[in-house]
């Protein structure tokens, strides 16, 4: 039977990949431009952080952590006339629902999807609101009736949960979000100076080896922060959750 740390390792990478299916899709970018943003990236920034409401852009930049502040400022300044930040979130949530209509609902057994949703929500419900503002903002979003839409939203909530834990871990280990990008444990291109520049950050950059040990420590601490919330499931439910998340992700071509 898988341990709690093994389950954390098993499920959160597939969950991150789930959400990329719609977050970075060409159709999502195109929708954002049609809505009135100059770029799809601006739609992504406000769509994610708009759960904070019509706050100053600096607050959104702090919650997102890994985006260059000037990119966040530009995105918030580009919110289309007549729309609030929460209106943009509603449109962004619609991209989640579009993805489930295209990918999840037609292709997967409803029982498996129900398992992801119910157990995933138990994990999220166990975490405190203090873990992170974006996590909490998405956690309290209205839940759709359709099971595919609920799973798509629940996996996004879990992604924001992991992101919140990771931001806390990075700061606790004495490095900056930029350091974390430069020395990321992700496979290229989601690491190093090139990825930092894609997030709007500008060099000259430090040698990633200067913070490599702290970056690895941050990854370990991220998992450690998440463990108590997965422990709420118990051994049998953890094993079931790990299996259904991994098998469902593996069946999606993305």
Distance CA 110, CA 86 (A): 30
Distance CA 148, CA 61 (A): 31
Nearest to 156 by CA among 65, 20, 249: 20
Q: What per-residue confidence (pLDDT) applies to 99?
A: 82
Q: What per-residue confidence (pLDDT) applies to 103?
A: 79
For the stretch 78-95, pLDDT in tens is: 999 999 999 999 999 999
> What residues contact 47, with CB distance under 8 A and at least 6 apart?
32, 88, 89, 91, 92, 95
Mean pLDDT of the region 119-142: 98
Altogether, the residues listed in the chain come to a count of 254
Distance CA 181, CA 186 (A): 9
For the stretch 172-222, pLDDT in tens is: 999 999 999 999 988 777 889 999 999 999 889 999 999 999 999 999 999
The backbone region for 146, taken as left when phi is positive above 0, alpha when psi lies in -120 to 50, beta otherwise, is: beta
Distance CA 48, CA 43 (A): 8
Lowest-confidence range among 18-27, 43-52, 195-204? 18-27
Residue boundaries of the structural domains of the chain: 4-25+92-250
Distance CA 3, CA 235 (A): 8
Q: Is the preceding peptide bond at 189 cis, omega within 30 degrees of 0?
A: yes
pTM over 0.75: yes
């Amino acid at each position: 039977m898988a341990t709690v740390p093994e389950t954390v390792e098993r499920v959160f990478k597939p969950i991150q990949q789930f959400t990329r299916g719609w977050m970075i899709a060409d159709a999502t970018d195109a929708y954002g431009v049609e809505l009135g943003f100059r770029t799809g990236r601006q739609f992504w920034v406000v769509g994610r952080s708009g759960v904070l409401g019509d706050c100053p852009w600096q607050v959104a930049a702090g919650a997102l952590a890994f985006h260059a502040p000037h990119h966040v400022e530009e995105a918030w300044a580009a919110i289309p006339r007549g729309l609030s930040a929460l209106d943009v979130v509603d449109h962004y949530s619609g991209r989640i629902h579009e993805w489930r209509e295209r990918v999840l609902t037609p292709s997967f057994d409803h029982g498996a999807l129900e398992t992801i949703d119910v157990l995933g929500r138990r994990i999220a419900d166990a975490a405190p609101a203090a873990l992170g503002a974006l996590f909490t903002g998405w956690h309290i979003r209205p839940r759709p009736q359709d099971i595919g839409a609920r799973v798509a939203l629940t996996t996004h909530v879990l992604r924001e949960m992991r992101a919140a834990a990771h931001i806390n871990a990075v700061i606790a280990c004495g490095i900056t979000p930029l350091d974390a990008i430069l020395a990321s444990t992700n496979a290229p291109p989601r690491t190093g100076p090139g990825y930092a520049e894609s997030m709007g950050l500008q060099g000259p950059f430090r040698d990633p080896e200067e913070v490599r040990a702290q970056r690895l420590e941050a990854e370990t601490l991220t998992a450690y922060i998440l463990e108590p919330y997965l422990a709420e499931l118990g051994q049998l439910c953890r094993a079931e959750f790990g299996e259904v998340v991994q098998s469902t992700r593996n069946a999606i071509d993305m």
